[in-house]
Structure 1
């Protein structure tokens, strides 16, 4: 199963690598995009802001790297770095393992968006009159170096405890202090601190200090990569 994008006649500069489609939404005041933007702004504080701050530098760096490859070595090299499931043949971009279909990029080009949450899958969106969009897995934070299997086991053990699972559900939604976590889950602050220490030792927590308050949040990148790291360790 595959998707073929016809890029015959498409200028190279119309192949866009961007860390987020939000700029395109802001630039187009059409009613649907305006509605999507309003929804995202309303949800940002509650759901997205902290998670985006954790990954935005990684995604921006990945997009810059792919754009640089496209400029220096050509589109074929950039696509090869995106995924082995993408090939450029005879003026057509082919994405394997997707539903059989085809679309054209001759007018508006193609946008490639890195993501840390969909590995190892590619996601494509295309419709008549719309620019094709391909979401691909960003390069690992550890630059392709394998995570030691001992660390993977340590992280799995850290997630295995039911109390830490409950704490992580809260921490995944945003930063919290030890006192806030204790109150939310009817635990004592020392008990919460012990569980947070286990998560921090496993490299699964981010900690920030604001004044006299220390706030903890779940490292979404490390958590999202855990399944991939486990598989890589088993196949090593």
Structure 2
């Protein structure tokens, strides 16, 4: 996923925490606790403390944050308070608001843009059809939004304000200092080392590419998207509740926004999607699985593997090359012999790396 920033001055690129952005991440964690194992204690306790009426309202509107995050929850111009950001949201016109709220239900062409279901009958029918397929709660909410967008928007605002009162205000007080410190750190990195340093520090799944064609921020996701920051800017929102997700707003007509998880104690960081693909392909081959069994128990030379598995030296070398390229084995020289051994820690991370890649 790429964001073209050719010619964009660094003053138009900002790192800043957002109360609304963090509330969106929190609501997603509550709706999909399986995505956020490290938050298990918090999500369990918070969900248990919710009043039934508030839990029911959250269920009605959760399509805006359960599967993907609606763009309206990721402000391009963060404010100090949630109330200020909700005021900004109130100033958005109905077509843009409803189109964004229902975009994941209405259109497979997010990156190309799609007309709002308030003005396009085909998109309206699609939104209703998909809503009915998701059950009566979803259908009732979408029907109400299409018939009475202003009233439904007020209902959503009250819902977010009630979440703030019930649990988010305390959560925000706890995390906002760390998020602000991370944003200041990234801003200082951008000043001293350039945007490339700040982007790399935000996430190893993001890079800055510069060549004769221009400059681009590249987000390593299992998704395709392209947008331009020309005439707008780029906003980076740090989040304490977002990992493993790396959310990027890239719809036409919206300023690009990237919400990135603040650093954790994991020194390895997120694995690139290509690396996960190579490792899955490497271990999927039946002969390489047998080689892994040997290499997990100790270090072997190529000749020893030939004897153990009854195959030729070129075959062993070819399979070892695939596994080494995937980062699954380590090699060391002992005299004139080269010893190969499975990197058990890399294989152990493969499941979590794969899950993080598809959730990113």
SS at match of 1:41: helix
> Which of 159, 168, 173 is equivalent to 1:53?
173
Give the structure-2-normalised TM-score: 0.36
- Hey, what's the Cα distance between the residues in 2 that align with 1:60 and 1:132? 20
**CA 130–11 in structure 1, closer or farther in 2 if over 3 Å, else same:** same
**CA 145–65 in structure 1, closer or farther in 2 if over 3 Å, else same:** same
Note the C-alpha offset of 1:42: 3.9
Note the C-alpha offset of 1:145: 8.2
**What is residue 221 of structure 2 aligned with on the other side?**
97
**Larger-gyration structure (1/2):** 2
Note the C-alpha offset of 1:104: 0.4
Output aligned runs, 1:141-220, within 5 Å: 144=265
**CA 74–26 in structure 1, closer or farther in 2 if over 3 Å, else same:** farther
SS at match of 2:177: helix
Note the C-alpha offset of 1:98: 3.8
> Which of 84, 93, 114 is equivalent to 2:238?
114
Pair 1:133 & 2:257 matched: yes
Q: How many residues align?
A: 144
SS at match of 1:114: strand
RMSD: 2.8
Deviations along 1:201-231, one digit per CA (max 9) or x if unpaired, are xxxxxxxxxxxxxxxxxxxxxxxxxxx9xx8
**CA 61–10 in structure 1, closer or farther in 2 if over 3 Å, else same:** same
- Hey, what's the Cα distance between the residues in 2 that align with 1:113 and 1:98? 21
**What is residue 184 of structure 1 aligned with on the other side?**
none
- Hey, what's the Cα distance between the residues in 2 that align with 1:81 and 1:118? 16
**What is residue 73 of structure 1 aligned with on the other side?**
193
**What is residue 210 of structure 1 aligned with on the other side?**
none
CA contact (8 A) 2:225 2:250 kept: no
Structure 1 segments, 4+ long, off by >6 Å, are none
> Which of 235, 248, 251 is equivalent to 1:124?
248
Deviations along 1:155-179, one digit per CA (max 9) or x if unpaired, are xxxxxxxxxxxxxxxxxxxxxxxxx
> Which of 4, 7, 17 is equivalent to 2:5?
7
Note the C-alpha offset of 1:49: 0.6
* Greater strand proportion: 1
Pair 1:38 & 2:157 matched: yes
**What is residue 17 of structure 2 aligned with on the other side?**
19
**What is residue 343 of structure 2 aligned with on the other side?**
none
- Hey, what's the Cα distance between the residues in 2 that align with 1:68 and 1:77? 10
SS at match of 1:48: helix
**CA 145–85 in structure 1, closer or farther in 2 if over 3 Å, else same:** closer
* Greater helix proportion: 2
Give the structure-1-normalised TM-score: 0.54
**What is residue 283 of structure 2 aligned with on the other side?**
none
SS at match of 2:172: helix
Which blocks of at least 5 consecutive residues in structure 2 are unaligned?
19-74, 80-84, 98-149, 268-348, 353-360
